[in-house]
Every structure is written in C-alpha cells, then in structure tokens.
Amino acid sequence: MKLWLAPVGAVLLAAALAGCATQPAYQRPAVDMPAAWKVEAPWREGTPNDAAARGPWWRRFGDAQLDALQDRALASSPTLAVATARLAQARATVNAASAGLFPQLSLGGRVARQRISANRPLTNYNAPNLTTIQNDFGLTFSVAYEADLWGRVQGTVNAAAASAEQSAADFENVRLVLTSDLAANYFNLRELDIELDVLSRSIALQRRALDLATARHDLGATSGLDVAQQQALLDSTLTQVDVLRRQRDQFEHAIATLVGTPAPVFALAAETSPRIAPAIPLGLPSDVLERRPDVASAERAMAAANAQIGVARAAYYPSFIFNPAAGLDSRLLSSLFDAPSLLWSLGVSLAQPLFDAGRIDANVDFAEAGYEAAVGNYRRVVLTAMQEVEDGITGSAALDRALAQAQLATASAERVLQLATDRYEGGVATYLDVISAQQSLLTSQRQAAQLLGQRLLVSVFLVKALGGDWQPALVAR
C-alpha cells in the first residue's frame, strides 16, 4: 500500500534540488572606487554610520528661518506624502506575497431552492427523467496550498522584499532631495536679498552723486554731460532692481510649493544677515555606497531583478497544488449536520507546461535583461555620485578663494571711488572717472554677493551628494 511513497519522495527531492537551481545567487557587482578624494585643506575625514539617523543637516547653517521652513516642508510637502504612500504600498505588497508561503483556508456556504429540468440529458436509458423541486444546503471548508518546489513563491517574496527596501531608500532620497531643494531655493533668495541691498545702497550713492553733479552744473563748474552720464547710470541700476525682484519672486514661489503652501499667500521678508557655509566632513569614496539613498535604491533594484529571474525560470517546472476539502451537503436543513451529509475530497493538481510557443523563454530573457539593465543603472548612479561629490569638494575650495579675492576687490573699489570723487571735486579729474569707479564698486559688491550665494549652494549640494550628514543627529534648538 505504501510502495508509491518511494517514487513520490524521489520526485519531491529532485524537485527541491531543481528549485534551488532556479534562483540565481545575488551578489552586488564590484565597482571601481578611488582610494581617496582629491581634497584641499581644511577638509577632514568623517565617520560613516548608515544605521544612524541622518538628522536635520540644515541646522549646521545656523539659520532659524531655514529651520522653520524645513520643518514645514517635512510636515506638509505633498511630494513627501506621495513617497510615504508608495512605501506603505511596497510593504503591503511584501505581506501579500508572503501569504503565498502558507496554506489558504476558506469557508463557504450555500443555500438554494432549485428546480431540475425534466429534459436534461439522460444518465441512464432505463431511468426516466423527472422534474424535481428541492432545497440545497451546503457548508464547505477547503484548503489550497502550492508546494513551492521550484522557488517561485519564495522568489516573488524576495523580489517584493527587495522592492520594499528600494522604496524605503527612495523615500529617504525624496526627503533628501526635498530638503536640499528647499535649502538651495532659500539661499538663492537670500543671495538676491543681498544683491538688492547692494543695489539699494548703490542707488542712494548714485543719487547723491547726481545731486552733486547737478549742483556743479548749476554753478557753471561742469557741463551737462556729467549730469547726463550720472542719470544714465542711475536709470540702469534701477532697471536691475526690477530684474532681481522678479528672480526673487520665482524662488519665493518655489519655496511656497516645497513647504506645501499656495504661492499667493506665502511671503518671506528680506534679510541680509551674513551666512557662513559650515564645515562638512568627508569619508572614503566607498562610503558613499553606504550613505546615498539613490545608490541604495539602485542596489535594491538589482536584488529585485535578480529574484525575478528565479520566478521566471520556475515556470519551466510543474506546479503542485494541494486542495483538500471537506463539507456538508443536504436537501434538508435539519439533517445538514448528520453523518450521512458529510463529504470530503483529497487531491493534488499538477500542471506541467509542454508547449507555449517560447513564452517562458521570452519571460526568462526579459527578466535577465531587466537584471542587466539594473546593473547598468547601478554603475551609472555610483559614477554620478563620485562626480557630484568631487565637484562639490573642488568647487568649495575654488569658491572660498574666489570669495576672499572678491572681498579684497570690493575694498579696493571703495578706495578707488573715494579717490575719484575727491579728485573730481578738486577739479583734477573728469566725471567719467567717478562713473567708472561707481560701476566698478557695484560690480565688485554684486560679485561678492553672488559668490557667497554660490558657496552656500555648493555646501548644500555636497551634503546631498554625500547622502546626508555623517555626524550624530543635531538636536533642535
């Protein structure tokens, strides 16, 4: 009676071994990484810790207004809300896929009153058909379980789990992009505030110079050319004010959207207080692979694509589904729970593909090509990360030198303007020298403001390129 167990056991053992072969082992591909960054002082090495919270890195800039805006963005940004919902969906998908590892139980009931046709097909030529009207009461309990001999179900679970981890990395990336975009727009706006302040002071200076030129012209000491030249410079400067205000409005509107507020009801008052870019610690280039959420997302996408190959290959092998069932069936409700009403069934369904016109082969090729695409995307993301970090490092050093030089140039331009004005008032220089000195001073002051804004932006982009802050989470002030 039990001799059939031996061949069945052999088949199941062979199936289990074959199932292990359908799922390719996953290993993160190697990427050529430099040993160190090309840095200049005062860069210092940081200590990476991917398990630690990245924290509010923007607090390192010491700007209370920026801190408040970041808090509003994290609480109200629709972009972050979308990423949160997608992460919840991915985790729910893992739970749904994991359910396939367990038997599925179901309970069903049936209550009906039916009429049987007298003209139905004959089952026996010696037995006449009769019309019958009767009740039908049924209660069934069934079990369905797919034996995962080839790893199809487990591969689906692995793919869903990797996709959920990818969604978690995507969420962190959305959060990082949101906060860095907000900081970038904020510092662009503040840089324009400084430029507008420079223009405001230049306009005041130019108006005083115009009054001086007009007074000297009224006294007959100079010609009307000096007045016309000064008026032309003043008009040009006033035109630049409108251009900068338009640019500031655009950054203000972008900030409103990022914090989840309608642009028409959002406003930021002008502020020109000095800001200093914070020192940002650096780790080894290979640490970026542990820190950047987009790199982590690309790596998890490879793991999910690798698991899909096993799922596709499992279709070559037969599927075994166990579906035992038991129940009660009676035409009288009073006798539904009597022993004669019991019914049951035991069975296994087997399905083995024989001919599908190459569909399974195509699905396997599709899965393998998807994995190769994920590998290529991973390498691209890593190379982009290396580029962005190195750009941030070299850009910061260059901008520091340029900003120091611009401050010296501004001081020199102020001295030149003072000398030109004194010489003009003394009658030993033309007014063209004063005009040239005013233009030079305005250019130097605006250039210094622009370089300061660029330096702050590079710091933001470098934090983003490094994947966040490596230091312990900053506490709220």
Q: Within 277-358, where are the H helices?
A: 288-291, 293-313
Q: Is 118 exposed, middle or buried (0-12, 13-18, 19+ CB in 10 A)?
A: exposed
Phi, psi of 144 (to 5 degrees): -130, 125
Contact predicate 279/393, CB 8 Å: no
Q: What's residue 429's pLDDT?
A: 76
> Quick one: pLDDT at residue 178?
93
pLDDT in tens, 209-231: 888 888 878 887 777 888 898 88
pLDDT of residue 182: 95
Q: What is the pLDDT of residues 393-452, one digit of tens each?
A: 888 888 888 888 888 998 999 999 899 888 878 877 777 788 888 888 888 888 888 888
Tell me the backbone φ, ψ of residue 55, rounded to 5 degrees: 75, 170
- Distance separating alpha carbons of residues 207 and 231, to the nearest angstrom: 8
Enclosing H/E stretch for 348: strand 348-351
Predicted local distance difference test score (pLDDT) of residue 81: 92
What pLDDT score was predicted for residue 423? 87
Q: Which residues neighbour 152 within 8 Å (Cβ) at sequence distance 6 or greater? A: 22, 310, 311, 314, 315, 319
62, 386, 392 from 281: Cα distances, Å: 17, 16, 12
- Helix and strand totals (H; E) in the chain: 9, 6
Domains and CATH numbers, the chain: 33-120+131-466 (1.20.1600.10)
Extract the tokens encoding 19.
């199932």
Strand, coil or helix: what is 378? helix
* Polymer length in residues for the chain: 477
| Residues of the chain scoring pLDDT < 70 | 1-22, 29-54, 282-290, 470-477
Output the pLDDT for position 38: 52
**What's the pLDDT at 289?**
65
Region of residue 113 (left: phi > 0; alpha: psi -120 to 50; beta: else): beta
Per the structure block, which two tokens stand in for 475? 């506490």
C-alpha to C-alpha distance for 207 and 53, rounded to whole angstroms? 54
Give the Cα separation of 377 and 29 in Å (integer): 12
Q: What are the pLDDT digits (tens) for 20-45?
A: 556 777 777 666 666 455 544 444 33
pLDDT score at 7: 47
Decide: 271 and 193 in contact? Cβ < 8 Å.
Answer: yes
**According to the model, what pLDDT value does residue 180 have?**
92
